[in-house]
């Protein structure tokens, strides 16, 4: 095998390995409520991922970013419990009561077995 053939083979193998590694990170595929949704009667937020999560290192926070009739409202943390379902691919944020009307921001972080932390966020409105 020539030097260039070995080099090309090594490059191809490295590219395949890198692609497999990159795909190993969990990605958010859906949420309920969805990003930008207008909803009613919310007590929990569900986030579905492409891979099983490590519960000890995955979670989220909920912020109320706007309240009807109050301009200049500063974001307020809403207490939630984070839990990963039995399937391992869904993270659930549960509040102690129904969310009040207003706008909200969910900030999440997730770790799968590859141990790389990924994070993101989205917003929705409760009427």
Output the pLDDT for position 37: 98
26-126 maps to CATH 1.10.540.10: no
Alpha-helix runs per DSSP H in the chain: 3-22
pLDDT tens digit sequence for 75-93: 999 999 999 999 999 999 9
Output the pLDDT for position 7: 46
Segments in the chain below pLDDT 50: 7-8, 14-22
- The full set of domain ranges for the chain reads 26-126
**Cα end-to-end span (Å), the chain:** 68
Output the pLDDT for position 5: 55
């Amino acid at each position: 095998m020539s030097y260039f053939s070995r080099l090309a083979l090594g490059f191809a193998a490295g590219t395949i390995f890198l692609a497999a590694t990159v795909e190993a990170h969990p990605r958010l595929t859906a949420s309920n409520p969805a990003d930008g949704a207008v909803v009613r009667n919310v007590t929990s937020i569900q986030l579905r991922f492409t891979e099983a999560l490590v519960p000890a290192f995955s979670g989220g926070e909920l912020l109320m970013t706007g309240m009807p009739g109050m301009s200049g409202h500063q974001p307020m943390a809403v207490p939630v419990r984070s839990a990963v379902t039995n399937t391992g691919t869904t993270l659930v944020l549960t509040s102690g009561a129904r969310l009040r009307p207003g706008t909200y921001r969910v900030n999440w972080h997730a770790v799968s077995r590859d141990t790389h932390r990924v994070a993101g966020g989205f917003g929705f409105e409760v009427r």
